[in-house]
Every structure is written in C-alpha cells, then in structure tokens.
Amino acid sequence: MRFVFKTDYNQDIRILKHSGYWWSYGALLAVLVAAPFLLGSYLQSQLVFVFIYAIVGVALMILTGFTGQASLGHAAFLAIGAYTAGFLQQLGVPFIVYFPVAAVLTGLVGALVGFPALRLQGIYLVIATIAFAFIVEEVLARWESVTHGNEGMRVRTLDLVGMPVPRDSAAFYFLCLLVLVGVVVLALNLLRSPTGRAFVAIRDSETAGKSMGIDLAAYKVKSFAISAAITGMAGVLFAHKMTFISPEMFTLLLSIEFIMVIIIGGAFGVHGAILGAIFMVMVDPFLTALKDDVPVLAANVASSFGMAQDAATHLQEKLSKIGSAAGLKGAIYGLIIMMFILFEPYGLYGRWLKVKLFFQLFPLYKRATFKRQKTYVKSERNR
C-alpha cells in the first residue's frame, strides 16, 4: 500500500496525485492512441460511440452527479448541438466555428432550462426536463425550414480546416478522443476550484451551502449551462458520426440511456461517466455476440464430454432458438440494470474502488467500510 507523504499544498491541488497516476493514465492513453491501428473498423466505431456517450456522461455527471439536479432532457441538448452543426455546415460555416457556436448555443438553452430548476426539486425537476425535451423534439419536427422536419437532415463529412475527416477514419476517432480528454480535464479543474465545491455543496445540503455564501440560483444555472454546453459538443460529434439526423433519434429513450450511463458507472466521480459509457455502448454488441457464440460453445463442450453428435446439434439449435427469442436481449439488459441498482448503487466505479481497496488492505478489508450509516435528520424544513 502506498502512503503519500504530503509536504506541499500543491499535492492536494494536483489532478495526478502521485507517480502511480502517471503510469496508469499514461498507459491508458497509449492504448487509446494505439487502438485505431490495432482494432477493426467495427470496434473503432464502437469506441467512437463510447467517447461520445462518455462526453455526455461527464456533462450529466456535473449536473446530476455533482450538483444533484436530475435531468431527463439531455437528448434534447444533444439534438440542439447536432442540429446547430448540421444547419451551420449547410451555410458553409467551418467546423472550428460551428463547434464552439453549438456549445455556446446549447449552453444558453441549458441556462434557460436551469431557471425552473431553482424552484423544483427531485422528481418535479425530472418532469420539467422531460417536458423540455418533448418541446425540443416537437420544434425539430415542425421547424422544417431549418431542420427539414421528420424527413431528417443529412450531415456532410466533417471538414477540419480543409482536411476531410470521414466518420470511420482514425482522424475522427482522435478528434472525439481529444474532445473527451478536454472535457474530462475541464470537469476535473472545476471540481478542484470553488465552483465545483459549490456544486457538491448544493447536492449535499442546500441550507448549509446557502449559509456558506453560495448563491444557489447562480450555481444551479451555471451547472445547467456547463452541462448543456458539453452535451452540445457531443451533439456535433454525434451528428457527424451518424451523418444523418432526424427528430426521432433524440427521444426520451436516449435521455434515459444517458442517465443509465451515470447510474451504472457510479454517479459520484468522473470515472463513473466513462465506465458507464463503455458499459452502455458495449453491452449490446456483447449480448449479440453471446447469442451467437453460447450455443456453439455449449454444443462443443457437450460433445467433448461424450454427448452424441446429433444430440449436441440438437442442443445447439435449442439454445440458439432461446437466444434469438424476441425481447430476450431487452430483458437481460433490464435485469443487469436492476441488479446494479439493487446490489451496487455506487456503480462500476464504486465496485472498482472496492476491489482496489480490497487489494490495498489485504487481508484487512472489511465490507462495512462502504456501508452508509443512517444519520440524524437534516434540517429539511429550512429549504
């Protein structure tokens, strides 16, 4: 186990706390940089989706994980970013202009949505954001002169200062990686400065935050704006990755997927957003692969244990029939999510921290370390 001996305030301010961080995150970055040269185009494309989901995950982490304001309207922010990109690109605006413009515009809309948040708590805020998402979806469908309505909109190949960056290229992969890394650094910077601490204070106790001098209204609006702006950036990348956008791509279901990203990842750290994104994007192809591979594997195992050939083939057919039953994938998917909420409310990142601590403290780890204690009632009445 490592004991960090602190001699300088900068040691607490630094993002990479000690040399171990440099090694592990350096290795991760090296793997990610090497990935497009090693992986097939399918996996590379999946990774791009992981990055885009992770960017939205970080945005939602700032708003929901850190500030404690739930939102089921992030698909709408993604849509605003995507449509801004599509529309401005048609007008001949270059990427280096419409990328920040989309972020700022989405941020402004986010700030507007943030205002009702000043008066709404919990489930009521969720409903308000859902309503907002429906409004955006409807506007996208009706404002045909800009969005081409339900017909959808074609997004041309991304043009980065004269260099075309097609959706399947390694360059597009690196662009998404760069944006993700930038957003993560930005989020971590916020967290180690007064604004980030104010966000966390609002989440944990509004009353205490208020009496510590935190202007709740201002910080809630800021949190909404930052979260929306980051989601807008993801929207631009999403539009270019999909090459075609239409209103029915940005439904409530997508917003729910984004919330799942941070719940499954663990809604208390930036790591959670990324782990959750990996899970959400990869679970589908993983289940598909299982569906194809498990029957074959089972038949092979069965015949190697001495089962007759035609019985093994029969088993394989039976299993693949079960595997391709309609709705099975959705059911398994739902089951996984329920398991998470029941058994690991801290998500994948929480599980990772527990495993890490287990090895650090071996053999002294005790499960109670992570048990939440019930404490005295908070002064809810002061709200």
Partner 1 sequence: MSFFTVDGISLQFGGLKAVDNVSFSVAKGEIFTIIGPNGAGKTSIFNLISRLYNPTAGKLFFGDQDITEVPPHQIAKLGIARTFQNIELFENATMLANLLVGRHCHATTQLWQEMLFLPSVRHAERAHRRKVEEVIEFLDLQAYRDKLIAGLPYGVRKVIEMARALCSEPKLILLDEPSSGLNVEETDDMSFWIRDIRSELGITVLMVEHDMTLVNRVSDRVLALNYGKVLASGTPSEVQAHPDVIAAYLGA
Q: How far apart are CA 332 and CA 281, in angstroms?
A: 15
What residues numbered 160-199 form the site for partner 1, per CB under 8 A? 186, 189-190, 192-198
How many residues bind partner 1 (CB under 8 A)? The answer is: 40
Q: Return the number of the residue (203 or 241) whose C-beta is nearest partner 1.
A: 203
Contacts of 206 (CB under 8 A, 6+ apart): 216, 383
User: Residues 215, 248, 284, 317: which binds partner 1 (CB under 8 A)?
Assistant: 215
The residue to which tokens 């922010």 are assigned: 77
User: Residues 35, 108, 139, 200: which binds partner 1 (CB under 8 A)?
Assistant: 200
What residues numbered 225-244 form the site for partner 1, per CB under 8 A? 226
Site string for partner 1, 349-378 (x = CB under 8 A): -----------------------xx-xxxx
In this structure, the dihedral spanned by the alpha carbons of residues 103, 105, 110 and 116, taken in order and rounded to 10 degrees, is 170
Q: What angle do CA 117, 121, 124 make, to 5 degrees?
A: 90
Minimum distance of partner 1 from residue 183's CB (angstroms) = 10
Task: Select from 230, 330, 320, 305 the least CA-distant residue to 238.
Answer: 230
Q: Residue 336 corresponds to which tokens in the numbers above?
A: 């996984």
User: Residues 3, 9, 37, 305: which binds partner 1 (CB under 8 A)?
Assistant: 9
Site string for partner 1, 264-283 (x = CB under 8 A): ----x---------------
Q: Return the number of the residue (65 or 73) whose C-beta is nearest partner 1.
A: 65
Minimum distance of partner 1 from residue 124's CB (angstroms) = 21
Residue 117 near residue 69 (C-beta atoms within 8 A): yes
Q: How far apart are CA 166 and CA 154, in angstroms?
A: 14
Q: Residue 285 corresponds to which tokens in the numbers above?
A: 């192809």
Q: How far apart are CA 174 and CA 278, in angstroms?
A: 17
Minimum distance of partner 1 from residue 357's CB (angstroms) = 13
Binding segment (CB under 8 A) for partner 1, from list 136-144, 200-208, 311-319, 335-343: 200-208
Q: Could you say whether residue 7 binds partner 1 (CB under 8 A)?
A: no
Q: Residue 321 corresponds to which tokens in the numbers above?
A: 């029939």
Residue 248 CA, chain-centre distance (Å), reads 20
User: Residues 40, 213, 306, 363: which binds partner 1 (CB under 8 A)?
Assistant: 213
Integer CA distances (angstroms), 254 to 106, 189, 280, in order: 17, 28, 11
Q: Which residues bind partner 1 (CB under 8 A)?
A: 9-10, 12-13, 186, 189-190, 192-198, 200-201, 203-205, 207-216, 222, 226, 268, 372-373, 375-379, 382
